[in-house]
Amino acid sequence: MEYQYIQVSRDGEVGRILLYRPKVLNALNTGLISELVQTLEDMDQDPTIRCILLTGGNRVFAAGADIGEMATATSAELMLSNQFADWDRLRRIKKPIVAAVVGYAFGGGCELAMACDMIVAAENARFGQPEIDLGIIPGAGGTQRLTRAVGKARAMEMVLTGRAITAQEAFSVGLVNSVVPAENVELEAMKLCQLVARKAPVAVQLAKESVLNSFDTTIAEGLDYEQKLFYLLFSTEDQKEGMQAFVEKRRPNFQGK
Ligand code: HXC
């Protein structure tokens, strides 16, 4: 398939997507988001892919939604075009996605990184929601996922002042998983992906679902849901294989069934 705004490759069982609009710091226009989401859905359907790495390359992750594309839009146009339909599809991807963030992750770029399941950040990474300086607010999770990730005080400060946080601050508040030198970010993200890719795929999928469910529900409902998924996994061959391998002191060979 031909892509205009992304590049797609794979490394074994890990699918890799590179955001590719280098001249505008990977500004997320609707075409890019549409290609990205379609590719994520394709990878989600592909049984030979078990984890997905999303990167902006070695200079920048993404400097936000494409301001040029939005500048003259009206409320009605944005609403009628269902501006966030593709972002909603992104939320339904079942395989884990690891973001490799170098440089700016601003606005929609920060929101895209937060929509992923784990983030490996470069020492020079900056996470920010500068929408307030454009006279708007975040629209793809910047007031929701950010608040859940970093807490009210920090989220309020970032959203109300537009001030970005460093990779180290992001690490200390739990927004990112690790901070590494820029030249190692993709390697570390790939290692994380490969680690996940070796696990039992159905368990991985349900684990992601259960963790995400915890943000949408009460603790009691979340615990009930987790128990149901736990029971469900005992219907998989991989559960039998995983436990048998432990007993036999060998590495499990998971088949995804
Ligand atoms: C369109 C962008 C862009 C963006 C950068 N560019 N960000 N184009 N949309 N979000 C373009 C610039 O116009 C410029 O093009 C080129 O990329 C390089 O950018 P510079 O500004 O020259 O680079 P630099 O001085 O290094 O500054 C980097 C920056 C700055 C601090 C990240 O670019 C910046 O503040 N960008 C906007 C960040 C932002 O406000 N993001 C939130 C967008 S709203 P030319 O042609 O001049 O070389 C949003 C809402 C999300 O994300 C809603 C849900 C989708």
Q: Which residue's CA lies nearest to atom 19 of ligand 1?
A: 24
Distance separating alpha carbons of residues 138 and 158, to the nearest angstrom: 11
Stated pTM of the model: 0.97
pLDDT in tens, 157-197: 999 999 999 999 999 999 999 999 999 999 999 999 999 99
Distance separating alpha carbons of residues 150 and 212, to the nearest angstrom: 16
Fold of 6-197: 2-enoyl-CoA Hydratase; Chain A, domain 1 (3.90.226)
Residue whose pair of structure tokens reads 């680690």 in the numeric block: 195
The pairing of beta strand 51-55 with beta strand 14-19: parallel
- The catalytic residue among 111, 142, 188, 197 is 111
Distance separating alpha carbons of residues 180 and 168, to the nearest angstrom: 10
CB contact set of 23 (below 8 Å; sequence gap of 6+): none
Any residues with Cβ below 6 Å from ligand 1, and which?
A: 24-25, 27, 63-68, 104, 106-108, 111, 130-131, 134, 138-140
Our answer to whether residue 111 is catalytic in this structure is yes
| Residue 94: per-residue pLDDT | 98
The pairing of beta strand 97-101 with beta strand 118-122: parallel
Q: Average of pLDDT values for 82-87?
A: 92
Distance separating alpha carbons of residues 249 and 97, to the nearest angstrom: 30
Please count the other Cβ atoms lying within 10 Å of the Cβ belonging to residue 201. Answer: 23
CB contact set of 186 (below 8 Å; sequence gap of 6+): 53, 55, 58, 100
Task: Indicate if the pLDDT at residue 1 is higher than 80.
Answer: no
SS3 of 172, please?
Answer: helix
| Residue 83: per-residue pLDDT | 86
Q: What percent of the chain has pLDDT over 90?
A: 99
Instruction: Please report, for the chain, the start and end positions of each structural domain, with discontinuous segments joined by +.
Output: 6-197, 201-248
Closest to 189 (Cα-Cα) out of 177, 198, 199? 177
| Residue 7: per-residue pLDDT | 98
Dihedrals φ, ψ of 181, to 5°? -55, 145
The answer to whether 105 touches 26, Cβ cutoff 8 Å, is: no
> Looking at the domain that runs over 201-248, which CATH code has it been given?
1.10.12.10
pLDDT in tens, 8-58: 999 999 999 999 999 999 999 999 999 999 999 999 999 999 999 999 999
pLDDT in tens, 238-251: 999 999 999 999 99
Mean pLDDT (the chain) is 97
Q: What percent of the chain has pLDDT over 70?
A: 100
Q: Which residue's CA lies nearest to atom 13 of ligand 1?
A: 24
Residue whose pair of structure tokens reads 């590179």 in the numeric block: 18
The answer to whether 140 touches 160, Cβ cutoff 8 Å, is: no
Structure tokens at 48: 């030979």
Task: Indicate if the pLDDT at residue 106 is higher than 90.
Answer: yes
